[in-house]
Structure 1
Amino acid sequence: MIGIWHSIVTLGQQKSKYIFVIEENDGYSLTVSAEPMPLPIEITELSVEDKRLKAAGCSMFMPGETISIDLTFGESVFAGTLKLPYAGEITLNGASGRGPSLSEDLIEEVAPYRKSNVQGRSDDDIKGEVEQLLERMSLVDKIGQMSQCLASAFSFGGDVDSEPPEKLVADGKVGSILGAFDIRRVFELQKIAVEQSPLRIPLLFNADVIHGHQTIFPVPLAWSCSWDMEEIKRACAIAAKEAAASGITYNHAPMVDITRDARWGRVVEGAGEDPYLGSEIAKAQVEGFQGGSLFDPETIIACLKHFIAYGAAEAGRDYNTVDISEGTLRNVYLPPFRAGLEAGAGSVMNAFNIYQGVPVAGNSYLLRNLLRDELGFEGMLISDYGAIDEIAIHGAAKDGKEAAKLALDATMDIEMVTRQFYDHLPSLIEEGAVQEAQLDAAVRRILTYKFKIGLMDDPFRYVRPEKEIEFHFSAEHLEASRELARKSIVLLKNDGVLPIKQDRKIAVIGPFASSKDLLGPWQFSRYGNETVTLANGLRDKGVELLLAEGCKVTEEIAGGFKKAIEQAKQADVVILALGENSDMSGEAASRMDIGLPEVQLRLAEMVVGLGKPTVLVLTGSRPLVLDWFDKHVDAIVETWFLGSQAGHAIADVLLGDYNPSGKLTMSFPYKVGQAPVYYNHFMTGRPVTEENRTQKFISKYLDGPNEPLYPFGYGLSYTTFTYSEIRLDKVHLSGSDAINLTLSITNTGTVPGEEIVQLYIQDLYGSSVRPVKELKGFRKVRLNAEESKEVRFTITEADLKYYLADGSYKAEPGEFKVYVGPNSRDVQESKFELVK
Structure 2
Amino acid sequence: MSATPPAEDEEPNAPAQHRKVLRLDSHGRTMIAVTVACVCLAAATLVASALDLVGPAHDAGATANRAVPAFQDPAQPVPERVADLMGRMTLEDKLGQLAQVDRAALTSPQDIAAYRIGSILSGGGSAPANNTPTGWADMYDGFQSAAQATPLGIPVIYGIDAVHGHNNVRGATIFPHNIGLGASRDPGLVQAVGRATAEEVAGTGIDWTFAPCLCVARNDRWGRTYESFGEQAEIATSMTSIIGGFQGGDLGAPTSILATAKHYVGDGGTTGGRDQGNTEISEAELRAVHLPPFQAAIAQGVGSIMVSFSSWNGQKLHGHRQLLTDVLKGELGFTGFVVTDWAGIDQIDGQRGFTGAEISTAINAGVDMVMVPTDYRQFLQLLRNEVDAGRIPMERIDDANRRILTKKFELGLFERRFTDRALTSTVGNQAHRDLARDAVRRSQVLLKNDGNVLPLAKSGGKIFVAGKSADDIGLQSGGWTISWQGAAGNTTPGTTILQGIRATVGSGATVTYNRDGTGIDSSFRAAIAVVGETPYAEGQGDRTGAMGLDTADLQVLSRLRASGVPVIVVLVSGRPLDIAAQVDGWAALVAAWLPGTEGQGVADVLFGDYKPSAKLPVTWMRSVSQQPINVGDGKPPLFAYGFGLTYPGGPTTPSPSPSVSTPPPVQTTPPVQTTRPPQSTPPVQTTRPPATTAAPTTPTAGVASCTFRYTVSNQWQNGFVAEARITAGSAPVSGWTVRFAFPGNQAITNSWSASVTQSGTQVSAANRDYNATIPAGGSVTFGFQATYSGTNSPPTGATLNGTACAAG
Same fold by TM (over 0.5)?
yes
Contact 2:738 2:765 survives alignment (8 Å): no
Matched, 1:169 2:112: yes
The one-letter amino acid paired with 2:501 is L
Q: What CA distance in whole angstroms lies between the structure 1 residues aligned with 2:331 and 2:118?
A: 28
- Pairwise CA distance, 1:128: 1.4
- Give the equivalent residue in structure 2 for 1:698: none
- Give the equivalent residue in structure 2 for 1:276: 234
Pairs within 5 Å for 1:119-130: 125-130=77-82
Pairs within 5 Å for 1:687-836: 706-719=635-648, 791-794=736-739, 801=749, 820=767, 822-823=769-770
- In angstroms, what is the RMSD of aligned CA positions? 3.8
State the secondary structure of the residue aligned to 2:519.
Answer: helix
Contact 2:464 2:511 survives alignment (8 Å): yes
Counterpart of 2:454 (choices 485, 498, 516) is 498
- Pairwise CA distance, 1:371: 0.2
Deviates more, 1:588-597 or 1:377-386: 588-597
Q: What CA distance in whole angstroms lies between the structure 2 residues aligned with 1:294 and 1:757?
A: 45
Matched, 1:266 2:224: yes
Counterpart of 2:515 (choices 529, 535, 549) is 549
In structure 2, the CA distance between the partners of 1:596 and 1:129, relative to structure 1 (3 Å rule), is same
Matched, 1:403 2:403: no
In structure 2, the CA distance between the partners of 1:793 and 1:316, relative to structure 1 (3 Å rule), is same
Deviates more, 1:249-258 or 1:565-574: 565-574
Counterpart of 1:238 (choices 189, 192, 196) is 196
- Give the equivalent residue in structure 1 for 2:320: 363
Counterpart of 1:531 (choices 494, 518, 523) is 494
Pairs within 5 Å for 1:380-459: 380-393=337-350, 400-418=355-373, 419=376, 421-459=379-417
Q: What CA distance in whole angstroms lies between the structure 2 residues aligned with 1:166 and 1:453?
A: 23
- Give the equivalent residue in structure 2 for 1:673: 625
Q: What CA distance in whole angstroms lies between the structure 1 residues aligned with 2:329 and 2:441?
A: 39
- Give the equivalent residue in structure 2 for 1:582: 535
In structure 2, the CA distance between the partners of 1:128 and 1:820, relative to structure 1 (3 Å rule), is closer
State the secondary structure of the residue aligned to 1:514.
Answer: coil
In structure 2, the CA distance between the partners of 1:710 and 1:212, relative to structure 1 (3 Å rule), is same
Number of aligned pairs?
615
State the secondary structure of the residue aligned to 2:256.
Answer: coil
Deviates more, 1:596-605 or 1:137-146: 596-605
In structure 2, the CA distance between the partners of 1:269 and 1:635, relative to structure 1 (3 Å rule), is same
- Give the equivalent residue in structure 2 for 1:83: none
Provide, for residues 480-507 of structure 1, a one-character-per-residue CA deviation record: whole Å limited to 9, x for no partner.
1111111010100001211111223100
The one-letter amino acid paired with 2:299 is E
Q: What CA distance in whole angstroms lies between the structure 1 residues aligned with 2:764 and 2:737?
A: 17
In structure 2, the CA distance between the partners of 1:248 and 1:639, relative to structure 1 (3 Å rule), is same
Counterpart of 1:199 (choices 135, 146, 152) is 152
In structure 2, the CA distance between the partners of 1:777 and 1:472, relative to structure 1 (3 Å rule), is closer
- Pairwise CA distance, 1:164: 1.3
Provide, for residues 637-658 of structure 1, a one-character-per-residue CA deviation record: whole Å limited to 9, x for no partner.
1111112211x11111111111
Provide, for residues 347-376 of structure 1, a one-character-per-residue CA deviation record: whole Å limited to 9, x for no partner.
000011112432111110000000000000
- Pairwise CA distance, 1:613: 0.8
- Give the equivalent residue in structure 1 for 2:20: none
Q: What CA distance in whole angstroms lies between the structure 2 residues aligned with 1:164 and 1:604?
A: 51
Q: What CA distance in whole angstroms lies between the structure 2 residues aligned with 1:478 and 1:152?
A: 30
- Pairwise CA distance, 1:133: 1.4
Q: Which runs of 5+ in 2 are unaligned?
A: 10-47, 57-67, 129-135, 167-171, 652-693, 701-721, 752-756, 774-808
- Give the equivalent residue in structure 2 for 1:223: 181
Counterpart of 1:178 (choices 121, 136, 140) is 121
Q: What CA distance in whole angstroms lies between the structure 2 residues aligned with 1:392 and 1:113?
A: 51
State the secondary structure of the residue aligned to 1:582.
Answer: coil
Contact 1:754 1:782 survives alignment (8 Å): no
- Give the equivalent residue in structure 1 for 2:301: 344
Q: What CA distance in whole angstroms lies between the structure 2 residues aligned with 1:433 and 1:338?
A: 31
Contact 1:577 1:616 survives alignment (8 Å): yes
Q: Which runs of 5+ in 1 are unaligned?
A: 1-58, 64-108, 154-162, 551-563, 682-687, 689-705, 723-752, 760-775, 804-809, 827-836
Q: What CA distance in whole angstroms lies between the structure 2 residues aligned with 1:500 and 1:539?
A: 13
- Give the equivalent residue in structure 1 for 2:683: none
Contact 2:522 2:564 survives alignment (8 Å): no
Provide, for residues 116-170 of structure 1, a one-character-per-residue CA deviation record: whole Å limited to 9, x for no partner.
99999889721112112112212111110110111125xxxxxxxxx51513202
% identical equivalent positions: 29
Pairs within 5 Å for 1:85-234: 125-153=77-105, 164-179=107-122, 182-194=136-148, 196-213=149-166, 214-234=172-192
State the secondary structure of the residue aligned to 2:221.
Answer: coil
State the secondary structure of the residue aligned to 1:567.
Answer: coil
- Pairwise CA distance, 1:792: 4.0
In structure 2, the CA distance between the partners of 1:332 and 1:204, relative to structure 1 (3 Å rule), is same
- Pairwise CA distance, 1:819: 7.0
In structure 2, the CA distance between the partners of 1:431 and 1:757, relative to structure 1 (3 Å rule), is farther
Contact 2:614 2:644 survives alignment (8 Å): yes
The one-letter amino acid paired with 1:186 is Y
The one-letter amino acid paired with 2:394 is E
Q: What CA distance in whole angstroms lies between the structure 2 residues aligned with 1:225 and 1:799?
A: 29
Q: What CA distance in whole angstroms lies between the structure 1 residues aligned with 2:579 and 2:144?
A: 51
State the secondary structure of the residue aligned to 1:423.
Answer: helix
In structure 2, the CA distance between the partners of 1:819 and 1:505, relative to structure 1 (3 Å rule), is same
Q: What CA distance in whole angstroms lies between the structure 2 residues aligned with 1:427 and 1:368?
A: 23
- Give the equivalent residue in structure 1 for 2:64: none
Provide, for residues 161-195 of structure 1, a one-character-per-residue CA deviation record: whole Å limited to 9, x for no partner.
xx51513202143101101651111011111111x
The one-letter amino acid paired with 1:293 is D
State the secondary structure of the residue aligned to 2:224.
Answer: helix
Contact 1:313 1:320 survives alignment (8 Å): yes
The one-letter amino acid paired with 1:619 is V
Counterpart of 2:268 (choices 311, 316, 324) is 311
In structure 2, the CA distance between the partners of 1:757 and 1:608, relative to structure 1 (3 Å rule), is farther
State the secondary structure of the residue aligned to 2:346.
Answer: helix
State the secondary structure of the residue aligned to 1:368.
Answer: helix
State the secondary structure of the residue aligned to 2:326.
Answer: helix
- Pairwise CA distance, 1:574: 0.6
